[in-house]
Every structure is written in C-alpha cells, then in structure tokens.
Structure 1
Amino acid sequence: MAMLNGAIRFGGPAIVAAMLLLAPGAAAEEYDGTPDDRFTIVETATGILRIDKETGNVSTCREKVSGGWTCQIAADERAAYEAEIDRLSAENKALADRLAEIRRRLEALGDEADRNKDKTLSRDELMRFFTNPPELSETDEKAVKEALDVTEKAFRGFLGVMREIERDLKSDDAKTDKGAE
C-alpha cells in the first residue's frame, strides 16, 4: 500500500486478495432471480436450472440461507460424450495407421514372394501336398512311429501324476472332513 496524492494505492496482490474475499466461490456465480435473454430458467424441486443459451452450459442454482442465489456449473454429459468421441477418434486413427502399416508390410512380403516365386510352391502345389501327402520311406515311418511312442509314454506318465495328485487331494479332504466332525 502506498500513498499517492493523499489517496491509498493498492498493489496487484492486494487487489487479487480483495477480489477473492468478495467472491462467494471460484466456481459459483451470483443469481439475483431475474432472468435475461441469455439464460433460460427452469424451476425444479431442489432449486433452479439455469441454461446458458450462448454456451449450452447448465448450472444448478440454490437459494442461500443468507439470501440471494448461488449457481454452479452442472456436470455436462455432453462433455463426457465429446471426450469419448475424442478418445474413439484417436483410437480409430491409431487403428487406421496400424492397418496402413500392415498393408505396407503385406505388400512388401508380396513383392518378396514375387521375387522368390521360383523357390516357393504354388497354391496348387501346396493343395496337392496337403491332400495327397508324399509317401514316407521306411526309415521316416519308423522315426514317426518312435516319436508317437515317446509322446504316448510321456502323456501316460503325465496322466499318472495327475491321478496321484487327485488321490492325494481327496485323502487330504477326507482327513479335513474327519477333523471337522
């Protein structure tokens, strides 16, 4: 505070502090009960809804015990919808970018396949291979049979272990049931 020609001069922080003290709340606005052209006022059981025709904001207004009204901006579902639209738009863009990348890679793979087509099987050759597999030699058939035998033994061993675990669990349950009686 400084004296200037007999008048008191307040600094910036003092003015801000005075304004904050005079304001009823940062998000609250005073409403004197007189609607103007900018707002539509709707009475409800719990107070008044004030709709701002310019911005679309909806405020809930309640009469204060000390007199006057206090209005606070209501949660706007539109903002939630717009946020969801923004999120979905970003996700859509990310997916479109990913799809473009996959298409680019697929095209590159197609180009690579075209360059190496003399080294690969055609679709018809693949279909013939899978519908009429080549005959196995006696050595190959023995190897396949041995592999199947080993797999069968391993699977049977696994099933045996599972049966033992099941028996152990049942006996533990029986012991627990007897102890509870």
Structure 2
Amino acid sequence: MQDTAPSETPAADPKRYALVKVDGSYLRLDRVAGTIAFCKPANGVWRCMPSPDAEEAYLNEIDRLRQENAALREEVSALRAGADNGDSDSVRPGHPSAEAPRSNTRPGPELSQKDEEQLDEMLSFTEQAMRRFFGLMRDLQRETGQ
C-alpha cells in the first residue's frame, strides 16, 4: 500500500500538472487541458476525481433553457393561432384557458350578531377543552416518567 502524495511530474511532460496541497489532499491543475481534479488517499491509494467545470455546467444549462424556451414559444404560438381560428382542439383539457372563468360574485354568508356570539362561545369552549386535554396528557407523561 502506497500512502504518499501523487507524483507532481508525470513522465511525459514534467510541467503539465501543478499540485497544490489543500486540507490533507491535493488540487491538481492540468496546464494543457485546463482541468482541475481533487486528489486524496482512499484505501491507501491516491485517487484523483475530476472537478466539474462550473462554466461548462452553466453554459449547458443556459443552452438547455434556450431550447426549452424556444419549444414553449412555439407551443404558445400554436395555441394562440388555434384560439384565433376558433379551433377547439388546440386548447387542451385541464389547461387554464380550457376552464370556464370563475367569478367571486356570490357574496359570503353574513352572520348575525347572535350567530357571532354563538360562534365565539363555541370557540371558547373548544379552546378550554383542548387546554384541559393537553394538561391531562402532560400530567400523564409526568406520572409515567416520559
């Protein structure tokens, strides 16, 4: 088992890699390819794991989002064209534009003064019952030592 640091200079090109010690492991920079790898011992053998290239990942994500955006724009255009032509097949069921508009014109129920008082009385009773119940549960926990 070899537990020494990775070689700083490969046989092919002694200036290709640069190693920087970081928290008991090494950061390896490939000067030719421009890649970075983290090297650390695992089971007595040094292993180098390539570091993900953040810029490449961002560019790939931007490209993916551009393609998705273009596809969505095409879908919106097709839906608008179908709606303008009165094509009922262009609007998918379950799509917000397929549903009938909802209106909140129906007034909510109005409570009389007596109803308000009864509601307050019921809420007060419920609150007292819940407090009593949780108090009993606390007492039971204390008695059983939990």
Give the TM-score of the pair, scaled to structure 2. 0.48
**More helix by percentage:** 1
Considering only CA atoms, is the larger Rg found in Structure 1 or Structure 2?
1
